A and B are shown apart, each in its own frame.
Chain A
Amino acid sequence: MMTKTFTMNRPTETLLMKLSLVTGATLAAALISGTAHAQSAGNWSISLGANNIAPKVKSGDLSAPSLPGTKIDVKDASAGFVTFTYMLTDQVALQTFLGGPYKHDIVGAGAIDGVGKIGEVRQVSPTVIAQYRFLEADAALRPYVGLGVTYAYFFKEKGSGTLTALTNPGGAPTRVDADNAWGVSPQLGVVYAFNQRWFADLSVIKTYIKNTTHLSTGQSIDAKLDPLSVGLTVGYRF
């Protein structure tokens, strides 16, 4: 047990990525012993895994001067993440999501569909969720629903030669700055308890969030990002 604990102590993102479902599931399966135990009031748990964030972008138009209908799309990104869960009651849990950083490509859409990558952005989006867990506290399989709040923090935005050619040809490279934003995050998930300590947690979160991205040319573009996040973790309950 202590050996496993020590392994999970390593503070790198790489480890979180490595501790993806295959490794995690194998690890957990090896540790299955006895009956499932309670997700009951007062319990703490931590879980580690991988998460994919796939934005479902509804883009506004890039402000003038631009080809009318110049829009963006944002590609999906995956990263390791960790959750902390506290059972307020046998049914109600509070969960915190921390993960990333996620690196998303920004590509042209609308009138400039086909130009490919125009930039990239990294983000972390910590989320706090209140969950209601169905079935008995000691049920092996517990579906749940949740509703949370997400803060998306964007950083290390980068432009591209394409973006410069489309917005400031012959001038300085165009820089990108994405506004941070708050979002609302409904969640569906299910927890499977391998035993009294170890469990797997599959979570699907839809986040309703929009922001504005600014260019160093003075232009800006609004977009609803509304990502779908699918995460699988393996966790340990205290």
Chain B
Amino acid sequence: MRREFRFWAPCASVVLAALLAACGGGGDGDQNPRVSYGKLVSFGDSLSDVGSYRVGAIAQLGGGEYSINGSTGVNWTELLAASAHVAAPCAAQTGLQSTIPSIPAVAVVNHAGCFGYGQGGARVTDPIGIGNAALPAPQLGQLTDPVKNQILRHLAASGGAFAADDLVTVMAGGNDVFANLGALQQGLTPTQAVTAMATAGGELGAYVKSLIVANGAKHVVVVNLPDVSQTPFAYALDQPTQGLINTMVQQFNAQLAAGVAATPEVLLVDAYTQGRDQNARPANYALTNVTTPACDLTKTALPTSLVCTASTLVAGDVSGYEFADTVHPTPFGYSLLARFVAENMIKNGWL
């Protein structure tokens, strides 16, 4: 009997150990990224703008980002910063050079320690972007410092070099599409518009290599241009123009890809293909609307998501909408982009 008891004891203890272990709950697990980053430095346009124009009347309207503004109204760069465990980016430069009488201009201020350089309306090289005060009035007076200048400003503020632990993001090209489409009215031919986009894509690739990588950045995430022909903006245009837009985007992306090819410090993220997939299979992404804006642009003070908030939305549940206005994503749309960028970075060992 005694021997039997001794043999049964291990059984009881194994079961006990299992049950005790079972009592402990689960957990978050290791949330740290695989690469330790110091900060996020982002260059681009409205898609990366974290509040360049959140001043004066725009701020009073509760706006500042090109989405549905509010506590969750952040773009993909801010979400990526959270995933990379670095501080949320703040706007490196703020101001508004409005020529709209009802919207006062606000002085341009540079903010040391802020590395969110993306500005709504910014182009790759041309300093006169969408909404720039140099265009015929009235204009909102977006600063539209082009990506090239954004990078140069950062270098000037950072001793001429990137830190090795910087996470750098670059995403631009949309405003070159809009500007070249506008130029069609002034005699630019479609062929010239496509060529101009190819040139812009090549320039952006060159800036990434010669201004960012060559100056010490080790982790540069370049997100290519989503298909602007699949936006509410394009859906309002005729079919040939939509086709032209698609060609312009593809040429831009092709030259951008060629420009950053075979550069290990650069991770090119194909947002173009991903966006088209989201459009083709919205249910997989929990998207309920990929064609019309979530913001009611007749309610907003300006016809842009820059001043869209929860109080200026269309009726109904917009949580599954892709677009906030005619071109910019909702917070959920940005979240999908952030997930896709993160997935690419993780596969590359960068996150």
A173 and B24 within 8 A (CB): no
CB of A34 closer than 8 Å to a CB of B = no
Which secondary structure dominates chain B's binding surface?
helix
B11 and A98 within 8 A (CB): yes
A98 and B83 within 8 A (CB): no
Measured between beta carbons, the chain A residues less than 8 angstroms from B343 are 67, 112, 115, 165-166
B79 and A169 within 8 A (CB): yes
Measured between beta carbons, the chain A residues less than 8 angstroms from B3 are 2, 5
Name which of A81, A162, A171, A177 has the most chain B CB atoms within 10 A of its CB.
Answer: A162
Which secondary structure dominates chain A's binding surface?
mixed
Measured between beta carbons, the chain A residues less than 8 angstroms from B286 are 64-65
Q: How far is the CA of A171 from the CA of B346 in the complex (A)?
A: 18
CB of B238 closer than 8 Å to a CB of A = no
CB of B317 closer than 8 Å to a CB of A = no
Contact of B26 among A169, A177, A236 (CB under 8 A): A177
Q: Using an 8 Å CB-CB cutoff, how does the interface string of A1-18 with B read, 1 for contact, 0 for none? A: 010011011111100100
Stretch at the interface among A21-29, A87-95, A137-145, A152-160: A152-160
Name which of A68, A122, A161 has the most chain B CB atoms within 10 A of its CB.
Answer: A161
B17 and A13 within 8 A (CB): yes
A13 and B14 within 8 A (CB): yes
Residue on A with the closest CB to B348? Answer: A114
* Residues of chain B in range 1-54 having any CB-CB distance to chain A below 8 Å: 3-4, 6-7, 9-18, 21-22, 24-33
Q: Using an 8 Å CB-CB cutoff, how does the interface string of B54-97 with A read, 1 for contact, 0 for none? A: 00000000000000000000100011101101000000000000
A163 and B79 within 8 A (CB): no
* Contacts between the two chains (Cβ within 8 Å), count: 158
B18 and A166 within 8 A (CB): no
CB of B172 closer than 8 Å to a CB of A = no
CB of B306 closer than 8 Å to a CB of A = no
Q: How far is the CA of A10 from the CA of B13 in the complex (A)?
A: 9
Q: How far is the CA of A119 from the CA of B31 in the complex (A)?
A: 10
CB of A208 closer than 8 Å to a CB of B = no
Measured between beta carbons, the chain A residues less than 8 angstroms from B11 are 46, 82, 84, 98
Measured between beta carbons, the chain A residues less than 8 angstroms from B21 are 101, 122, 124, 155-156
B25 and A156 within 8 A (CB): yes
Measured between beta carbons, the chain B residues less than 8 angstroms from A42 are none
CB of A48 closer than 8 Å to a CB of B = yes
Q: Using an 8 Å CB-CB cutoff, how does the interface string of A120-134 with B read, 1 for contact, 0 for none? A: 101010000000000
Interface size class of B (residues with CB under 8 A): 35 or more
Contact of B346 among A99, A115, A157 (CB under 8 A): A115
Residue on B with the closest CB to A175? Answer: B26
Measured between beta carbons, the chain A residues less than 8 angstroms from B17 are 11-13, 101
Contact of B342 among A81, A169, A236 (CB under 8 A): A169
CB of A167 closer than 8 Å to a CB of B = yes
Name which of B28, B340, B351 has the most chain A CB atoms within 10 A of its CB.
Answer: B28
B80 and A169 within 8 A (CB): yes
Q: How far is the CA of A177 from the CA of B82 in the complex (A)?
A: 24
* Residues of chain A in range 46-67 having any CB-CB distance to chain B below 8 Å: 46, 48, 64-67
* Residues of chain A in range 65-86 having any CB-CB distance to chain B below 8 Å: 65-68, 80-82, 84
Q: Using an 8 Å CB-CB cutoff, how does the interface string of B159-191 with A read, 1 for contact, 0 for none? A: 000000000000000000000000000000000
Q: How far is the CA of A101 from the CA of B21 in the complex (A)?
A: 8
Q: Using an 8 Å CB-CB cutoff, how does the interface string of B286-305 with A read, 1 for contact, 0 for none? A: 11000000000000000000
Contact of A155 among B24, B32, B79, B80 (CB under 8 A): B24
Measured between beta carbons, the chain A residues less than 8 angstroms from B338 are 165, 169-170
Q: How far is the CA of A10 from the CA of B26 in the complex (A)?
A: 28
B6 and A5 within 8 A (CB): yes
Q: How far is the CA of A93 from the CA of B221 in the complex (A)?
A: 62
Measured between beta carbons, the chain B residues less than 8 angstroms from A159 are 26-29, 31
Stretch at the interface among B149-157, B245-253, B262-270, B277-285: B277-285
Name which of B18, B21, B27, B281 has the most chain A CB atoms within 10 A of its CB.
Answer: B18
Residue on B with the closest CB to A44? Answer: B4
Measured between beta carbons, the chain B residues less than 8 angstroms from A48 are 10
Q: How far is the CA of A82 from the CA of B21 in the complex (A)?
A: 17
- Known interface pairs A162-B351, A165-B338; 10 further A-B residue pairs with C-beta atoms within 8 A, sorted by A's residue number: A8-B6, A9-B6, A46-B7, A68-B284, A98-B14, A120-B29, A156-B27, A165-B343, A170-B338, A175-B26
Q: List 26 A-B contacts (CB under 8 A).
A: A5-B3, A10-B10, A11-B17, A16-B10, A46-B11, A65-B286, A68-B281, A98-B11, A98-B15, A100-B18, A112-B343, A155-B21, A155-B22, A155-B24, A156-B22, A159-B27, A161-B29, A161-B83, A161-B85, A163-B29, A164-B83, A166-B343, A166-B346, A167-B339, A175-B27, A238-B7
